[in-house]
C-alpha cells in the first residue's frame, strides 16, 4: 500500500509538471497582449513595455519558462498581473469559499442521487422511476445560469424564504478568518447565529450546484443497483427471509456503490474547480471566478497557477477514490 | 415515536433556515456593484473606475468636483481653499485649508501635500502619466510654508487643466505622511503594501473593511472638514451578476444597483418603484479607420463611411436608448464640446464614394471585442456599409488580442471604446489629434498615431493645452474637433449613459459624467 502511494504521488508530480508546461506554452502562443489589455487602450506604449519587462514578458518564451521553473522550485507561483498579489495568496484566498460550496453541493448530490437511484432501481418501471429519470435528465441538461436565476426568483424574490447571494447578509461582517470557511470559522469563534445565517446562504447555491451531480449519481446508482439486485446472493438474502429494506440497504447497496464512488469523485472534482456561473449568480467569492477571469485576461501567472491547483485537486480526489475502493471491496488490492 | 421526533427535528431545521431576513438599516447605504476590476486601494496605483469610486470617498485632493451632470463645470476648493498662478504662468500656489484632520487625527499641512504628490511621482505607477506630463519631477512640488505649496509645471497650464489633473483621484490624493511612514519597511519605504488594503486619507469616509471580491465597508469620519456625513456606513457589496443585483434591489436587500443592463433599467422605469439616475458618460464607442490601408487613406471614403452609418439604429435600437449621439471627441458637457452631429445620408455617402473612385466598393476587415454591445454594433455597421458597396468582414476577438493588433497599427478598422482620463479637453485632443509622424519616433503614440493619421492640427493641440485665455482655448478646441470630424480617421458613434437604480429612500445621489467621481458625502436615506 505504501509503495503504491509513493508511486501515485510521484505520478502526481509528473502530471502537474505536464499540466504546467502545457498551459505555460499554450497560453503564451496566443497572439494577445495581456499587459496592454490590463492597462487599457489609453496607456502610453512606454508604460506597456516597462510593465512587460516587470513580468519577464520581454524575454524569449524558453527563458520565461526556465525562470518560472526556478521560481516554482522555491514554491513561488509568481505575481498575478491582474491583482498584483502572489498567485498562491490569491488561490488560498478564493479556494475556501469554493471548497465550502463544492462540499455542500456534493453532500446534497450524494444524498439525493443515491436516494433517487435506489428508489428507481427498486421500483423499476414505476411512476416514481420515470419521475426520477426525467429529473436526472433535467439535472444534467439545465444550464446553471438559468436554474440558478430560477431558484433565486422563486425562493428569494417571490417567496422570500432564502437569502439571495453572498456568504452572509450584505450588512453582516464575516467571522475572523481562520480556515476561510465561513460556517466553520463562525463555529470556531463561537458565533452560532452567524453559523446559521451562513448555512442559510449555502442552501440555494449548493442546491443548484448539486443538480448535475444528483443526476449523474442517481443514474449510475440505478444501473449499478439493477445489476446487483439480479445477483444470486441477493436472492439468497431474500430467501433467508430478510426484509426488503435490509436486502436493499445492507446487501445490494454496498456492493453497488463502487462505480458510484467514481462518479462522486468526478462530481466533487468538477465542483472544486469552481463554477464561474454559480459563483457569479450567487455572488460567491470563489475560485471559479478567479480562474475564469485569469483566463479571459490572459493573466499568465494566474492561469498557470490556477491550472496546476485544479490539476492537483483532481489528482488528490482520484487518489482518495482509488483508496476508498479497497474499503468497499476488500478483494481489491493495490500493486 | 422515534420517527415522529425525527420529523419534528427536520421541520424545526427547515423553519430555522427559512426564517425572515432583516432590511437595510436607515443610516447604512448598501450598494451592489461588481468588484471584478478592483485591484487594491493604493492611491498611487488605482486606475480602474471602481477603485477610484472608493478613493473618492476616502481621500481628498487639493481641488474638488461636486455634483451630477455639471460636476466638472465648476472647480470647488478641496484641501486647498484658494490658489493663484505665478506671473510667468508656470507655478500654481496653493493655500492649504487650516484645521483639517486626517482619519488618524493628524493635521493636513503643506508637508502632507508635498509628501503625497512626490510619493506618487516617485512610485510612478501606471496612472502617473496624468501628472507627469506636466510635473515630470518630484522636486517641482515645493513647500513654501506650513500651509502653502508651490507646484511648478513644465508648461503654462490654465486653471481648468490644473484642476482636472490635480483633482484626479488616486495619484493626486493627499495621504497622511505619519501613517505611511509608520507602516513603511526597508523594501517598501512608501508602505504601498499596507496602503493597498488600508487608508491614510482625510475624506468623508474611512476604509473599515475590505474582503476581496466580497465587500468594502466605509465608515463615516465624524471630524470631516465639510461636516459629518449623513450616512453612518456604506457597504459596497460585490454582486457581479446584473440580474442578481436587480433582484436584490427589488427585495430591498440593497439600496443602489450599479451595473444593471439597459433592459433592466427600462423594466424598473416601467414599474416606477425605483429611482433611476442617468448621466451621459464621458466615454465613447467609436469606429477607427487605419489611414495606412489604401481605400481608407482617401478622406472621401472616410467621410462616406461616417454618412453611411445609421446612428439612431444603434442608440435607439441596439442600445434601447441607453446612449446619446456624440460624434466629436470632446464629450457632451465638457468644456470646448463641438455640437455637431451626423445622420445617415446614403445618397451623400454614395456620391462621396463615386468622387473617391470607389463606386464599386471594396472589402475591409473590422475587428471588435467579444463583449456586448460590440458584436451587435459591428453587425449594424456591416449592414450599413453594404449599402455603399463596402464589404465588411467582422472579426471578433478578445480585447487583449485586439489591442495588440491596434497598437501595432496592423488593423484596417476597429470598433472599440475610449474613456476620458481627466476632465479637460486636452485629455481627448492629445490622443485623438496629436500625430506628427506615423513612425516610431512619434511623440504621442495614441489613437491618431495608431490609425496612421498624420494630423495637420498637431501644433494646435500643443498650443491649446498651454493656452491660458479660456475663450481662445475653447475656440481652438472647437476648430480642432471640426477638422478631425471632417477628415480624421474616426466615426465616433455615441456616449453610453451611466444608469444607476436606487430605492426611493435614497436621497442626494448624483452621478457625474465620470461616474467614479460620485460623492457619497451628501447621500442620505429617508427610511
Q: Is the model's pLDDT at A2 over the cut of 50?
A: yes
- Using CB atoms, pick whichever of A32, A152, A289 lies closest to residue B401: A32
Mean pLDDT across B521-525? 96
Mean pLDDT across B61-73? 90
Please identify which residue in the block is written with the cell numbers 507627469.
B132
pLDDT of residue A93: 94
Q: What is the pLDDT of residues A260-290, one digit of tens each?
A: 988 999 889 888 887 888 999 999 999 999 9
**Does the distance separating the beta carbons of B239 and A283 come in below 8 Å?**
yes
Q: A290 — contact with chain B (CB < 8 Å)? A: yes
C-alpha cell at A205: 447555491
Q: Is the model's pLDDT at B18 over the cut of 60?
A: no
* Total-model pTM: 0.89
A86, A89, A111, A171: best mutation site toward chain B, by most B Cβ within 10 Å?
Answer: A171
Q: What is the pLDDT of residues B150-197, one digit of tens each?
A: 999 999 999 999 999 999 989 999 999 999 999 999 999 999 999 999
pLDDT of residue A231: 83
Q: What is the pLDDT of residues A81-91, one digit of tens each?
A: 888 899 999 99
pLDDT of residue B455: 84
B:243-282 residues touching chain A, CB 8 A cutoff: 243-244, 247-248, 250-251, 253-254
Average pLDDT, rounded, for chain A:
88
Nearest CA in chain A to B371: A296
Mean pLDDT across B96-124? 97
Contact between B152 and B68 (Cβ < 8 Å): no
Contact between A167 and A97 (Cβ < 8 Å): yes
Q: Is the model's pLDDT at B7 over the cut of 60?
A: no
The DSSP element (H or E) to which B367 belongs, if any, is: strand B362-369
Q: A92 — contact with chain B (CB < 8 Å)? A: no
- Using CB atoms, pick whichever of A47, A173, A297 lies closest to residue B126: A47
d(CA A286, CA A304): 17
Q: What is the pLDDT of residues A219-254, one digit of tens each?
A: 999 999 898 888 888 888 888 877 878 888 777 888
A172 interaction partners in chain B (CB closer than 8 Å): none
Q: Is the model's pLDDT at B306 over the cut of 60?
A: yes
Q: What count of other Cβ atoms lies within 10 Å of the Cβ of residue B371?
A: 12
pLDDT of residue A249: 79
Nearest CA in chain B to A164: B248
Contact between A96 and A314 (Cβ < 8 Å): no
Mean pLDDT across A53-74? 91
Q: What is the pLDDT of residues A78-130, one digit of tens each?
A: 999 888 899 999 999 999 999 999 999 999 999 999 999 999 988 888 888 89
A:18-77 residues touching chain B, CB 8 A cutoff: 30-34, 36-37, 39-45, 47-48, 51
Q: B155: helix, coil or strand?
A: coil
pLDDT of residue A49: 84
Residue with the bigger pLDDT between A328 and B414: it is: B414
Residue B1 pLDDT grade (very low, low, confident, very high; cuts 50, 70, 90): very low
Q: Is the model's pLDDT at B61 over the cut of 70?
A: yes
First-last CA distance in chain B: 49
Average pLDDT, rounded, for chain B:
93
C-alpha cell at A334: 493495490
**Does the distance separating the beta carbons of B400 and A298 come in below 8 Å?**
yes
Mean pLDDT across B196-200? 96
For residue B355, the number of C-alpha atoms closer than 13 Å in the C-beta half-sphere is 13
pLDDT of residue A335: 59
> Cis link prior to B449 (omega < 30° from 0)?
no
- Looking at the complex, report in whole angstroms how far the Cα of residue A37 sits from the nearest Cα belonging to chain B: 5
Mean pLDDT across B337-353? 95
pLDDT of residue B13: 52
- Using CB atoms, pick whichever of A93, A164, A199 lies closest to residue B253: A164
**Does the distance separating the beta carbons of A163 and B445 come in below 8 Å?**
no
Closest CA to B307 of B280, B335, B327: B327
**Does the distance separating the beta carbons of B419 and A160 come in below 8 Å?**
no
Give, as one character, the DSSP assignment of residue A176.
Answer: P
Tell me the pairing of strands B490-503 and B283-289. Answer: antiparallel
Cα–Cα distances in angstroms (integers) from residue B355 to residues B232, B301, B348, B358, B481, in the given order? 66, 9, 11, 8, 24
Q: What is the pLDDT of residues B477-498, one digit of tens each?
A: 999 999 999 999 999 999 999 9
A47 interaction partners in chain B (CB closer than 8 Å): 126, 129
Contact between B402 and B375 (Cβ < 8 Å): no
Mean pLDDT across A138-161? 89
The distance from CA B427 to its chain's CA centroid, rounded to whole angstroms, is: 12
**Does the distance separating the beta carbons of A33 and B407 come in below 8 Å?**
yes
Mean pLDDT across B268-297? 96
Contact between B68 and B279 (Cβ < 8 Å): yes
- Looking at the complex, report in whole angstroms how far the Cα of residue A196 sits from the nearest Cα belonging to chain B: 7
Residue B335 pLDDT grade (very low, low, confident, very high; cuts 50, 70, 90): very high
Q: What is the pLDDT of residues B230-251, one digit of tens each?
A: 999 999 999 999 999 999 999 9
**Does the distance separating the beta carbons of B416 and A41 come in below 8 Å?**
yes
SS (HEC) of B61-117: CCEECCCCCCHHHCCEECCEEEEEECCCCCEEEEEECCCCECCCCCECCHHHHHHHH
Q: What is the pLDDT of residues A5-42, one digit of tens each?
A: 888 889 899 999 999 999 999 988 888 888 887 777 66
Amino acid at each position: 500500500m505504501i509503495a503504491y502511494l509513493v508511486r501515485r504521488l510521484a505520478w502526481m508530480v509528473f502530471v502537474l509538471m505536464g499540466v504546467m508546461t502545457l498551459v505555460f506554452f499554450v497560453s503564451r502562443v496566443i497572439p494577445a497582449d495581456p499587459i496592454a489589455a490590463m492597462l487599457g487602450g489609453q496607456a502610453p506604449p512606454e508604460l506597456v513595455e516597462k510593465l512587460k519587462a516587470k513580468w519577464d514578458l520581454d524575454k524569449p518564451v524558453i527563458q520565461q519558462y526556465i525562470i518560472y521553473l526556478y521560481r516554482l522550485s522555491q514554491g513561488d507561483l509568481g505575481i498575478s498581473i491582474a491583482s498584483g498579489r502572489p498567485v498562491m495568496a490569491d488561490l488560498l484566498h478564493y479556494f475556501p469559499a469554493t471548497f465550502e460550496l463544492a462540499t455542500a453541493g456534493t453532500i446534497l448530490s450524494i444524498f439525493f442521487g443515491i436516494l433517487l437511484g435506489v428508489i428507481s432501481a427498486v421500483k423499476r418501471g414505476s411512476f416514481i422511476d420515470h419521475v426520477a429519470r426525467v429529473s436526472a435528465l433535467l439535472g444534467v441538461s439545465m444550464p446553471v445560469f438559468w436554474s440558478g436565476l430560477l431558484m433565486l426568483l422563486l425562493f428569494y424574490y417571490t417567496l422570500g424564504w432564502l437569502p439571495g447571494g453572498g456568504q452572509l447578509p450584505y450588512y453582516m461582517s464575516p467571522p475572523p478568518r481562520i480556515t476561510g470557511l465561513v460556517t466553520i470559522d463562525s463555529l470556531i469563534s463561537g458565533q452560532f447565529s452567524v453559523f446559521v445565517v451562513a448555512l442559510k446562504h449555502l442552501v440555494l447555491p449548493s442546491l443548484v450546484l448539486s443538480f448535475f451531480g444528483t443526476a449523474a449519481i442517481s443514474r449510475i446508482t440505478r444501473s449499478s443497483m439493477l445489476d446487483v439486485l439480479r445477483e444470486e446472493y441477493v436472492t439468497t438474502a431474500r430467501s433467508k427471509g430478510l426484509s426488503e429494506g435490509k436486502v436493499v440497504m445492507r446487501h445490494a447497496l454496498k456492493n453497488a456503490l463502487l462505480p458510484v464512488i467514481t462518479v462522486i469523485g468526478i462530481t466533487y472534482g468538477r465542483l472544486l474547480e469552481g463554477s464561474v456561473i454559480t459563483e457569479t449568480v450567487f455572488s460567491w467569492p470563489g475560485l471559479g471566478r478567479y480562474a475564469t477571469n485569469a483566463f479571459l485576461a490572459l493573466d499568465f501567472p494566474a492561469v498557470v497557477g490556477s491550472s496546476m491547483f485544479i490539476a492537483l485537486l483532481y489528482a488528490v480526489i482520484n487518489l482518495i477514490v482509488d483508496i476508498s475502493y479497497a474499503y468497499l471491496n476488500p478483494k481489491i488490492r493495490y500493486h | 415515536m422515534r420517527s415522529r421526533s425525527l420529523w419534528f427535528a427536520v421541520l424545526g431545521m427547515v423553519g430555522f433556515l427559512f426564517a425572515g431576513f432583516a432590511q437595510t438599516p436607515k443610516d447604512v447605504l448598501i450598494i451592489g456593484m461588481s468588484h471584478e476590476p478592483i485591484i487594491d486601494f493604493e492611491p498611487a496605483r488605482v486606475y480602474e473606475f471602481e477603485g477610484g469610486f472608493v478613493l473618492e470617498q476616502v481621500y481628498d485632493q487639493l481641488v474638488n468636483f461636486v455634483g451630477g451632470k455639471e460636476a466638472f463645470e465648476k472647480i470647488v476648493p478641496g484641501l486647498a481653499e484658494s490658489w493663484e498662478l505665478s506671473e510667468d504662468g508656470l507655478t500654481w500656489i496653493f493655500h492649504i485649508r487650516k484645521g483639517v484632520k486626517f482619519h488618524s487625527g493628524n493635521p493636513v499641512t503643506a508637508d502632507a501635500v508635498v509628501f503625497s504628490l512626490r510619493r506618487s511621482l516617485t512610485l510612478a505607477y501606471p496612472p502617473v502619466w496624468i501628472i507627469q506630463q506636466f510635473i515630470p519631477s518630484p522636486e517641482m512640488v515645493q513647500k513654501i510654508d506650513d500651509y502653502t505649496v508651490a507646484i511648478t509645471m513644465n508648461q503654462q497650464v490654465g486653471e481648468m487643466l490644473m484642476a482636472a489633473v490635480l483633482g484626479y483621484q488616486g495619484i493626486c490624493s493627499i495621504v497622511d505622511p505619519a501613517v505611511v511612514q509608520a507602516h513603511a519597511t526597508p523594501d517598501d519605504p512608501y508602505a504601498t503594501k499596507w496602503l493597498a488594503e488600508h487608508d491614510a486619507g482625510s475624506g468623508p469616509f474611512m476604509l473599515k473593511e475590505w474582503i476581496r471580491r466580497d465587500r468594502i465597508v466605509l465608515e463615516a469620519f465624524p471630524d470631516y472638514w465639510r461636516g459629518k456625513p449623513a450616512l453612518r456606513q456604506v457597504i459596497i457589496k460585490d454582486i457581479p451578476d446584473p440580474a442578481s443585483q436587480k433582484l436584490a434591489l427589488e427585495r430591498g436587500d440593497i439600496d443602489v444597483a450599479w451595473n444593471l443592463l439597459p433592459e433592466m433599467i427600462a423594466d424598473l422605469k416601467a414599474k416606477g418603484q425605483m429611482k433611476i439616475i442617468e448621466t451621459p458618460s464621458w466615454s465613447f464607442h467609436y469606429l477607427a479607420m487605419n489611414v495606412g490601408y489604401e481605400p481608407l487613406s482617401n478622406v472621401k471614403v472616410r467621410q462616406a463611411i461616417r454618412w453611411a452609418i445609421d446612428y439612431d439604429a444603434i442608440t435607439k435600437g441596439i442600445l434601447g436608448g441607453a446612449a446619446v449621439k456624440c460624434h466629436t471627441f470632446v464629450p457632451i458637457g465638457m468644456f470646448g464640446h463641438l455640437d455637431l452631429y451626423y445622420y445617415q445620408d446614403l445618397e451623400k455617402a454614395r456620391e462621396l464614394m463615386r468622387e473617391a473612385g470607389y463606386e464599386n466598393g471594396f472589402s475591409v476587415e473590422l475587428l471588435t471585442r467579444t463583449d456586448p454591445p460590440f458584436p451587435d454594433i459591428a453587425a449594424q455597421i456591416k449592414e450599413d456599409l453594404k449599402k455603399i458597396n463596402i464589404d465588411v468582414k467582422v472579426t471578433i476577438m478578445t480585447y487583449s488580442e485586439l489591442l495588440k493588433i491596434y497598437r501595432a497599427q496592423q488593423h484596417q478598422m476597429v470598433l472599440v471604446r475610449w474613456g476620458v482620463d481627466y476632465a479637460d479637453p486636452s485629455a481627448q485632443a492629445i490622443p485623438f489629434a496629436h500625430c506628427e509622424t506615423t513612425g516610431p519616433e512619434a511623440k504621442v503614440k495614441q489613437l491618431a498615431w495608431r490609425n496612421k493619421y498624420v494630423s495637420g492640427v498637431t501644433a494646435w493641440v500643443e498650443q491649446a493645452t498651454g493656452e491660458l485665455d479660456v475663450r481662445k482655448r475653447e475656440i481652438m478646441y472647437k476648430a480642432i474637433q471640426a477638422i478631425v470630424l471632417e477628415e480624421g480617421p474616426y466615426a465616433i458613434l455615441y456616449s453610453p449613459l451611466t444608469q444607476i437604480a436606487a430605492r426611493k429612500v435614497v436621497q442626494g445621489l448624483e452621478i457625474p459624467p465620470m461616474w467614479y467621481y460620485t460623492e457619497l458625502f451628501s447621500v442620505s436615506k429617508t427610511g
